[in-house]
Amino acid sequence: MKILHIDSNHDLMIEQLKAAGHTNHEDYTSCKEEIEAKIDQYEGVVIRSRFKIDKQFLDAATNLKFIARVGAGLESIDISYAESKGIALIAAPEGNRNAVGEHSLGMLLMLFNKLKLADAEVRSGQWNREKNRGVELEGKTVGLIGYGNMGNAFSKKLKGFDCEVICYDLKPNLGNENARQVSLEELQEQADVLSLHTPWTPLTDKMVNTDFIKRFKKPFWFINTARGKSVVTSDLVEALKTGKILGAGLDVLEYEKLSFENLFTAKEEMPKPLQYLITADNVVLTPHIAGWTVESKIKLAQTIVDKILQL
């Protein structure tokens, strides 16, 4: 097949696809319109998130047999329209699930032990031990919403901490030795920690809002390594101010552009909720890098290659 690579990835992808007899063309700079003008020449497209693959793009791709996204989700693709055209859709959640699990755990431990604040204070010459007394994960109940690749990876990491892990998912019978599946109501009643591991869909869009947060029986810590647009940031900030949310680890933000490469242009004013998050001692922020490790770059590329070669 003739394959167009729209985003750069690990070199093994080009090398292995070439060795398997496929022709690879790389175009990492042309705009969407320029790509659309030539996409009819290709049977396959490999992309991360540079632009949205919409109806217009798919109508131009008259010979397309597959779209491979080097990442976990497919929200940048018009899935139903692509499938109606018989185009195979490939993603690679297996490739970075371990990285996401480790990152989620790191954020949680950082919050529990006030590592952000303690580090900043010591660097400024302060030595405040009692102020930075932490809490332990042992004995806590960690609630996961979404129990696919990422949720499973996080629950596996939690297993050695002697905490209880519960999960909620729309699909039944997903619970295993690492997490007990419960209703959303039970999760909101029991959880000391909430961690999101869901794709961005109409059901999860703005899911974490004031009403959702109020349904939790106890104050809780919040981790989001999934999608930023699943959270209403202004409502999250209000819950942090009132203490209903004890702390937040956010690898994703609702202000991200579709490509995930930036937040907003220099001309745009920083949203007030984001201003609060940046200055809050009990908030840990990272730039959408939970699945972005040296190892996951290799695993993601290898997963995509393996799935293409299985077509």
Question: Is 20 buried (19+), middle (13-18) or exposed (0-12) by CB count in 10 A?
Answer: exposed
Residue 227 annotated as catalytic: yes
pLDDT tens digits, 114-135: 999 999 999 999 999 999 999 9
Amino acid at 108: L
Q: Return the closest-CA partner of residue 92 out of 299, 263, 231, 283.
A: 299
DSSP annotation of 41 reads: G
Distance separating alpha carbons of residues 246 and 258, to the nearest angstrom: 29
Give 95's pLDDT tier (boundaries 50, 70, 90).
very high
Distance separating alpha carbons of residues 274 and 287, to the nearest angstrom: 13
Half-sphere exposure of 58 (CA within 13 A, CB side): 21
User: In sequence order, what are the residues at sequence separation of 6 or more whose Cβ sits closer than 8 angstroms to the Cβ of residue 143?
Assistant: 166, 167, 168, 187, 188, 190, 191, 193, 194, 195, 220
Amino acid at 15: E
User: pLDDT at residue 259 above 70?
Assistant: no
- Residue 147: how many other CB atoms lie within 10 Å: 25
Q: Cα Rg for the chain, rounded, in angstroms?
A: 21
- CATH, domain 97-285, list 3.30.420.40, 3.40.50.720, 3.40.50.620, 3.40.50.300: 3.40.50.720
pLDDT tens digits, 58-74: 999 999 999 999 988 88
pLDDT tens digits, 202-213: 999 999 999 999
User: pLDDT at residue 265 above 70?
Assistant: no
Tokens 């992309």 locate to 47
| pLDDT computed for residue 45 by the predictor | 97
Distance separating alpha carbons of residues 53 and 48, to the nearest angstrom: 11
Distance separating alpha carbons of residues 302 and 133, to the nearest angstrom: 43
Residue 256 annotated as catalytic: yes
| pLDDT computed for residue 76 by the predictor | 87
Half-sphere exposure of 146 (CA within 13 A, CB side): 25
Average pLDDT over residues 19-37: 96
What does the block give as tokens for 118?
């303690």
Average pLDDT over residues 176-204: 97
Q: Return the closest-CA partner of residue 15 out of 310, 311, 298.
A: 298
Q: Where in the chain is the domain with CATH 3.40.50.720?
A: 2-91, 97-285
Residue 50 annotated as catalytic: no
Q: What is the mean pLDDT of the chain?
A: 95
User: What's the first-to-final CA gap in the chain, in angstroms?
Assistant: 11
Average pLDDT over residues 193-205: 95
Q: Where are the beta strands (DSSP E) in 31-189?
A: 44-47, 66-69, 88-90, 141-145, 164-168, 180-181
- CATH architecture label of 2-91: 3-Layer(aba) Sandwich (3.40)
> Is the full-model pTM beyond 0.95?
no
Q: Looking at 10, 50, 103, 227, which residue is catalytic? A: 227
Q: Looking at 36, 75, 254, 256, which residue is catalytic? A: 256
| pLDDT computed for residue 21 by the predictor | 97
Q: Looking at 10, 103, 197, 288, which residue is catalytic? A: 288
| DSSP reduced 3-state for 202 | coil
DSSP annotation of 107 reads: H
| pLDDT computed for residue 199 by the predictor | 92
| pLDDT computed for residue 50 by the predictor | 87
| pLDDT computed for residue 266 by the predictor | 58
| DSSP reduced 3-state for 40 | helix
Answer for the pair 157, 172: CB distance below 8 angstroms, yes or no. no
Half-sphere exposure of 169 (CA within 13 A, CB side): 22
